[in-house]
Amino acid sequence: MKKKTIWEMHRLSVDEFHTAPKMPLTIVLDNVRSLNNIGSIFRTADGFAAERVILCGISQTPPSPEIHKTALGAEESMDWAYFPTTAEAVAALRAEGYVICCLEQVNGSVSLETFRPDPERKYAFIVGHEVQGVDQAIVDTADICLEIPQRGTKHSLNVAVSAAITIWHFANHLPAL
């Protein structure tokens, strides 16, 4: 088998991507500190045509050489916004009609493998700080908490990996663009 060239993959230009249909999914970063994780989330969001990325609190924003290192330009193709607090972002998203989902291990969480998003709804899912997770005050405001089932000895996955798994799950259960 021969690897495909970039031309054979028929990728959109950045301008075409900005106007193309998107999956009704916004990814919210609640105080994510690692610029590499932020860049990776931008790249995954682009790869599955999510609507936007919202950065909150200590999460740094583009332009940044460290974000670019893992985003590889997705910080230019993805729509993004910054809010000083995650609570402000959640309030704005709720006003826009989004279902607010936290990706967090909590009592009463829904296993991601069994969750089926409603194709008639818009979703925002929140990922948290690499050590502390999503702030409890934000968890308390969520419509639903999703949890990725795990079988090993570690209690969590890297935030960018968790975001990628969740974005992929939504992409597989929402109508094709």
Query: Is residue 167 over pLDDT 70?
Result: yes
Give the tens place of pLDDT for each residue, 80-123: 999 999 999 999 999 999 999 999 999 999 999 999 999 999 99
pLDDT at position 177 is 67
**pTM (predicted TM-score):** 0.95
**What mean pLDDT is predicted for residues 110-138?**
97
Mean pLDDT of the chain: 96
Q: What angle do CA 104, 109, 115 make, to 5 degrees?
A: 100
Residue-range domain boundaries for the chain: 27-173
Q: What DSSP character marks residue 121?
A: S
CB contact burial 20-48 (16+ within 10 A = b; e otherwise): eebbbbbbbbbbbbbbebbbbbbbbbbeb
Which of these CATH numbers, 2.30.33.40, 3.40.50.2300, 3.40.1280.10, 3.40.50.150, describes 27-173? Answer: 3.40.1280.10
